[in-house]
Amino acid sequence: MQTSELRSGAEFALPDGAIPVTLRINGTAYPLRLDPHTSLLDALREHLGITGPKKGCNQGACGACTMLADGNRILACLALTIQYAGKEITTIEGIAADGELHPLQAAFITHDGLQCGYCTPGQICSTIGMLREFEAGLPSAVTEDMASTSIVLSDAEIKERMSGNLCRCGAYVGICEAIHEFAAMGAAR
């Protein structure tokens, strides 16, 4: 957006100070009236009852709130709702299709990639976004050959790329195995 096109929130504000915004979440449009400071996480959890994305730290440190915006992983606790109007938001509720578990969800179960499950929605959304980045050829901090066009998805790459998603139950071994299994499915994604 050009600077000249930027408009202040006050320009759109309703008499109560709220801002009208329509979010697209898991294929459905949700018109809302919100305080312009509302985070995307709070908009979903507190205003729409979409509670799959979890609030852990509420400061960008744990990854529990991870969801996808136009396919890219984001931390919803750090995202302003009004910035995401017009984007296609996908949460854990929108991952599965036709009543069947998404293959990544199934892999998490197969490999015991969870215990309490609190971090799992974020882990799964983050994995999908991470693999999109990986398949686009984006290197990570542990990629040895930045110029390589065929980075190997090693344990080290997975751990680094998923390092923003913490699991207090310590299910990391299973999470890593599940990601390996899902990544190997390739075309199934």
Given the rule CB under 6 A, which residues bind ligand FES? 55-58, 60-65, 75, 77, 114-120, 167-169, 171
Q: Any idea what DSSP says for residue 46?
A: I
State how far the Cα of 113 lies from the Cα of 174, in Å rounded to an integer.
4
Contact 130, 73 (CB under 8 A): yes
Nearest-approach distance from CB 2 to ligand FES, in angstroms: 31
Tokens of 43: 């908009």
State how far the Cα of 137 lies from the Cα of 112, in Å rounded to an integer.
29
Nearest-approach distance from CB 144 to ligand FES, in angstroms: 29
- For ligand FES, the closer of residues 20 and 117 by Cβ is 117
State how far the Cα of 70 lies from the Cα of 76, in Å rounded to an integer.
13
Phi, psi of 89, rounded to the nearest 5 degrees: -90, 135
- For ligand FES, the closer of residues 14 and 61 by Cβ is 61
- For ligand FES, the closer of residues 26 and 58 by Cβ is 58
In angstroms and rounded to an integer, the radius of gyration of the C-alpha atoms of the chain is 18
Nearest-approach distance from CB 114 to ligand FES, in angstroms: 4
Nearest-approach distance from CB 176 to ligand FES, in angstroms: 13
Nearest-approach distance from CB 40 to ligand FES, in angstroms: 10
- For ligand FES, the closer of residues 77 and 107 by Cβ is 77
- For ligand FES, the closer of residues 51 and 139 by Cβ is 51
